[in-house]
Structure 1
Amino acid sequence: MSHFSLHGQYRVQSRRDYATSALEGEWYVGPGVLGNAGINEALRAHPFWTGQVQVALRPALISQRFGKFASEPDILYKHDLFIPAPDSDAMLENIVDVLKSWQNWIQRKKFVQTLFCAEDYQHAMGHLSDLQTTIANEYIVHEAGHFIAYDVFTKQNDGYFAPGGKTLWPLIYLEEFRADLNAFGFAVKLLAPEQAVQIFLYNLLLRFGVHRQGILTLHSAPYGLIPYLLFCLLNELGFIAVINVHGRYCFRLSNLHTTTLLGLMQDCAHHAKVQLNTAEMATTRSWERALAAASYVRNRLEQYEKTRQFALVMNQPATGKEQA
């Protein structure tokens, strides 16, 4: 690991105001941590890569945060939103704040635990043996997931997410879901089996846990439709179901063996390939691509039994553990 210190002006993507901000920490490297060279080699070899963008991302263990880096909840710091002071180094790549994400996870575990049957929760957590490396790798493969087929930057430039000038959030949620599924394929290809399944399980528990936490503490859904879209797919694939245990609903997972999870991840990536990536590339008109994406989301929302089952678990009253 090597030390770095950055200071200057920074803003988050959702706001236009800059503030004096600073970061200090160590770059997170070591055995098992993916780097840009490895992920970009896989990206360039992918049949759906169009040659437009590559990953420029570095995980870091941040020891001090000031300004926007401290006050905003973002885990990913964008290099193009940072203006370095004259005596500061530039931020040449996006930075993943591994420790902030890890601290959020510790606070979120009580919400995750109530969602799953006790045995499944314990088994899933048993897989997550190296959470900091998993957090770093999950961000890297997720970023690559945005960059195949109709990549996210081209979508932004084409106005894909805001046809007619108005942002359509379901298109944003679907893009994040698409990146997740594509990321599972990269993880299986690039990581050792046990490391790869940690990416999947961390993503599943994160998406569902944030949703539950948001409902109980913010009365909102921070990830929007993403957790429901994931539930729909995993339910179709026979991996997840809703059952009642002692008067409370919970998610039951069918099989948490490593080989089964690897196959499931490949099935998810195949779903993205057929239902999302291929559909995007079937036309060159951004509005037609947006229409196809909207149709996918609408189809999912019209699966009323799945929406009902998902809500049975997510919308239950808080447990004592969650209120603590």
Structure 2
Amino acid sequence: MSSCRFAGRDQPRIVPGRHTEECPSINPLTLAAEPYECTGCQPCTADHCRVCGVEHAVQTCPECLDETREALTGIVRACEVLPEEAEHRGQDSEAMNLLGPAADPDARRHVEASYLGGRLPEGWIEANHGRDCPLLAKKGEPGYGDPCTGCAGDELHPLTVLGGWASVYREAFEHDDTGVVTVADEREYLDRNLMRASAWPHVPFEDFARDVRRCRDHIEAVIHSGEQIDRGAPCFRCGSSLERVWGEREEDDGWRCPKCGDFRSPEDYRRNVAQQHLAHSDRLTLKEIEQAYSIPGGTLRRWAAEQRREVGGVMKTYPARLRHVSRVNGRKVYRVADVLALRDGTKAEKMTG
């Protein structure tokens, strides 16, 4: 456990109870007009972990090293669940994106070199990386000469993260490239060389550890490694959102209200949702209107059909009294208010007639 404490993002860590010579609390020449109490202001001169910046370590503390190793293992375990999640979420889901191929980091570096050599049009970096990309920095500006790490893309694909960093460390350690990049192989290589990488001063291990943690957290968020809650329609008793529950047997599956505890089987849930749809929807098909408001189907179809009448020996066509407003899955949908107005108007005509 580190004995120093945090003093500010732009300040070095300080040692509690230790003071500099200029501290007003101990130097009588700089005593303040009012009593001044200092709990410590002497900067800590010990080496700190390059990842957490808290623990005393020459390069990387054991805790951060273990956490990075666990994050590498977590990526592989999370990737094993991605096929099932992609099948559930569909081909346009983030799970399918993470399961698919990733861009080649070497190819991206070749494209960046082409841009710097003038072989790509001006503005390509701004459009594909962002205005803060180090490739746009001029000589003397912060970031000049630094490589691009995918600033605008914010790459969290496991193949990009593990494959990119494995390529960096293979080049640093002069190891041969394996050719085909897989998550399992790149994780095995990084895990095998993790101790050496954590002490290697020429590659920012803190950036590697950060990217690995972010990649793992992103995949776990995609696959919902915590409790996954499927929310349904409002409870038919209290109005709270129903939640999908899975029992030990198929007949125990269904929907339960977390507030009142009301349980609905899948069949009851579908039937109740259909009833609520009929009771509250302002647009329905003719068949649904017949079920909800007990209006004969023949009457509805007559209202919705064009009227043909013979006038002066000539057949004329008159527009339908009830017109559809849209189509849903190929079926005509009508306003419930229009139907009720026709019904009430017909009743009024019969009463006055």
TM range (shorter): under 0.3
> Normalising to structure 2: TM-score of the pair?
0.20
TM-score by length of 1: 0.22
Larger radius of gyration: 2
| Greater strand proportion | 1
Query: More helix by proportion, 1 or 2?
Result: 1
